[in-house]
Amino acid sequence: MSTPEIVVATEELAEHKSLLARVWDLCRRQPLGTFGALVVLLMIFLAVFANVLTPYNPEAASWENQLTAPNAQFLMGTDHFGRDILTRIIYGSRTALFVGFAASIVGATLGLVLGVASAYFGGTFDIIVQRVVDVVLAFPLIILALVVVAAFGTAIQYVIIAITIPFIPQCARVVRSNALAIREIPYVDAARAMGFSHARIILRHMVPNVMAPYLIMITAFMGQAILLEASLSFLGLGVQEPIPAWGLMLQGGAEEYAESAPWIPIFPGLAITVAVFGFNLFGDALRDVLDPKLRRE
C-alpha cells in the first residue's frame, strides 16, 4: 500500500473513531434520550420483522387455547379468542407506528407551512390564522379526535385525520414564534429587494431555519398520536377488529377479564406506556440537542 493510501485510510479510521466518540458522548450525556431512542428502534424492528418474529397469525382464533395463562408456548398468554397476545402486540406496533408517523408528519408539516406563512405575511392574515389556532387549541385533543371520527367513520384513514387535525395548530404556534425572529433577519429583506417570490422566500430562506422545532414537534407528536389512537380504539371509535391494535386489545379485556385473566389488559397497557414514554424521552433529548438555548457545552 502506497503512502497516500495509508494516509487516507488513517484519516478515515480517525474520522470513524471520532464519530463513535461523539455518539458515545451524546449517549453518556443523554441516557434517558438513549433509552427512548432504543425503544423507538425496537418498535420499528418489531413492526418491520413481525412476520419473522412470531409463528402465529394475529387474527386467527384458536378456541382450544382460549384464556391460556402465560407459559412457555404463549409467553404473554392468549385472549378470549385464543389469539397469542405477544403476537398481537408485535403486530400492533405496526398500527401504532403507521398511525403515529402519518398523523405526526402530516400534522407537523401543515403546521410548519401555516406557521411560517402566518409569520411572514403578518397583518390581517396573521391575526385570522392565530385566532383560528386559539379556537382549535381551546378544545382537548381527544374531543377533537372524537368529533372527527364520529362525523366521518372509524376507517384507519379517518383515524389518522382525526389525530392530525389537533396537531396542526400546535406546530403552527411553535413554528410561528421562531419564524417571527427569522423574518427580521436582513437576508429576508435582501431576498425581497431582489424580487424573489413569496413562495421562494418562505420555502428556501425561512423553512430551513425552522426545521429544528419542526423535527422536535414530530417526535413529541408521536407519543401523543400513539396514545390518541389507543384511546379511540379503546372507545370503539378507532381501529376495528380483527386488526391488531393495542387500544383494541385493552377494550376486549380491561373490564371483563381484569380478574380472571389479568394478562389480557396488562401487556397491551405496558406496550402503550413504554412506547409513549420512549417517544417522549427521545423527543426531549432531541430538543436538548437541537435547541441552542438548551445545548450544554
DSSP letters along 183-199, please?
HTSHHHHHHHHTT--HH
Kindly state the percentage of the chain with pLDDT values over 70.
Answer: 88
Residue 21 lies in a domain: no
Closest by Cα among 235, 288, 227 to 104? 227
Residue 13 lies in a domain: no
* Distance of alpha carbon 104 from alpha carbon 167, whole angstroms: 7
Render 110-164 in DSSP notation, one character per residue.
HHHHHHHHHHHH-HHHHHHHHHHHHHHHTS-HHHHHHHHHHHH-SSHHHHHHHHH
* Distance of alpha carbon 296 from alpha carbon 51, whole angstroms: 42
Mean pLDDT of the chain: 83
Cβ distance 170 to 164 under 8 Å?
no
Residue 210 lies in a domain: yes
* Distance of alpha carbon 70 from alpha carbon 51, whole angstroms: 21
Amino acid 12 reads E
Closest by Cα among 228, 92, 213 to 164? 228
* Distance of alpha carbon 6 from alpha carbon 267, whole angstroms: 54
Cβ distance 224 to 171 under 8 Å?
no
Any idea what DSSP says for residue 264? H
Task: Give residue-wise pLDDT tens across range 47-97.
Answer: 999 999 888 888 888 888 888 889 988 889 888 888 999 999 999 999 999
Residue 3 lies in a domain: no
Amino acid 103 reads A
Closest by Cα among 182, 178, 146, 191 to 165? 146
CATH number of residue 61's parent domain: 1.10.3720.10
Residue 139 lies in a domain: yes
Count: domains in the chain: 1
From 14-23, 195-204, 208-217, the region with the lowest mean pLDDT: 14-23
Cβ distance 278 to 40 under 8 Å?
yes
Task: Give residue-wise pLDDT tens across range 18-46.
Answer: 666 766 676 777 888 889 889 999 999 99
Residue 112: φ, ψ to 5°:
-60, -50
Positive or negative torsion for Cα 144, 40, 99, 286: positive
Predicted local confidence at residue 8, as pLDDT:
41
Torsion of CA 108, 114, 115, 116, to 10 degrees: 110
Q: Which residue range is the domain that position 233 belongs to?
A: 30-290
Q: Is the whole model's pTM more than 0.85, yes or no?
A: no
Predicted local confidence at residue 5, as pLDDT:
47
Task: Give residue-wise pLDDT tens across range 213-271.
Answer: 888 889 889 999 999 888 888 888 888 877 888 988 887 666 677 777 888 888 999 99
Residue 173 lies in a domain: yes
Cβ distance 217 to 263 under 8 Å?
no
Residue 46 lies in a domain: yes
Residue 87 lies in a domain: yes
The gap from C-alpha 270 to its chain's centroid, in whole angstroms, comes to 18
* Distance of alpha carbon 258 from alpha carbon 236, whole angstroms: 18
